[in-house]
Amino acid sequence: MNTSLQVWPIPALQDNYIWCVHDGQSAVVVDPGESAPVISFLQQNHLQLTGILITHYHADHIGGIESLLKWHSSQVNGDNLAIPVYGPAAEDIPFRTRALLEGDQVEFIKPALALGVLEVPGHTLGHIAYFAQARGTEPPRLFCGDTLFASGCGRLFEGTPTQMSESLAKFLALPSETLMFCTHEYTLSNIRFALAVEPNNADLLAWSSQAQAMRHSNQPTLPTTLGHERQVNPFLRCDQAPVIQAASQHANHRQLKNKAEVLAVVRAWKDQF
């Protein structure tokens, strides 16, 4: 019963990654913003699509759902093998078959992939993330949508800095070795900003060279790990002296009272960067 899972990034649209989790036979995809690259990936690897997971309603995360479902039903010749589409209860997700709330569990590719739901408002108000605990040889994994990026975080389109700070605190409570499956390749530009905040962060400087080398050879910089992000991501370091000092200085030396106030300044700074 020890099915080992693989997780592959399917590059899509401008700079999205659609993550495909599979065991060599059954596959689920996370946030299919378009269908064509997913279909080619599944065909090339002889995989059967068994589910779709959605983190939030933005078009670049849901745009491929309808054509994937149509393609799937043409594959199974009308057999009624509808695949489930899981998504946040608080958002309008087309073709959703199950609406998820904090603490809900979903299982795929039984028994290997069991995911718990975290509500993480900030980027959008209904945004959710999916967390798989370590299990046998499987590492802990987080599918975090547009809440967290390597060395960055999502824009606050709908939520407040306090909401985002609390959402990121849920991630910070996960095991350090958690693999973080973010949905955009924004890493190099995020690192440029992170270095403006913390120019003397040695881990960040080392990561900058490493990430540039990865992009030069056209490799994804993801997944990252939570432990690594704790060292190099200013949005997860809003309680660290160098980030607090840089944010305060950026805010005309205003005294920042808590992590959420630091995050508010750093996020607004990044929006203008």
Judged by the rule CB under 5 A, the positions of this chain that interact with Zn ion are 58, 146
The nearer residue to Zn ion, 158 or 239, going by C-beta atoms, is 158
Distance of CA 140 to the CA centre of its chain: 14
Beta strands in the chain (DSSP E): 6-12, 16-22, 26-30, 48-53, 85-88, 98-100, 105-108, 113-119, 128-132, 141-145, 148-149, 152-153, 179-182, 224-225
Q: 184 an active-site residue?
A: yes
Give me the least distance between CB of 197 and Zn ion, in Å please: 23
Is 27:50 a contact under the CB 8 Å cutoff? yes
Q: 216 an active-site residue?
A: no
Catalytic residue among 22, 31, 58, 127: 58
The nearer residue to Zn ion, 61 or 141, going by C-beta atoms, is 61
Catalytic residue among 22, 31, 60, 127: 60
Q: 23 an active-site residue?
A: no
Catalytic residue among 22, 72, 123, 127: 123
The nearer residue to Zn ion, 17 or 207, going by C-beta atoms, is 17
Give me the least distance between CB of 74 and Zn ion, in Å please: 29
Nearest CA-CA partner of 68 in 98, 47, 91, 92: 47
Q: 60 an active-site residue?
A: yes
How many C-alpha atoms does 218 have within 13 Å on its Cβ side? Answer: 1
Q: 58 an active-site residue?
A: yes
The nearer residue to Zn ion, 222 or 243, going by C-beta atoms, is 222
Active-site amino acid positions: 56, 58, 60-61, 123, 146, 184
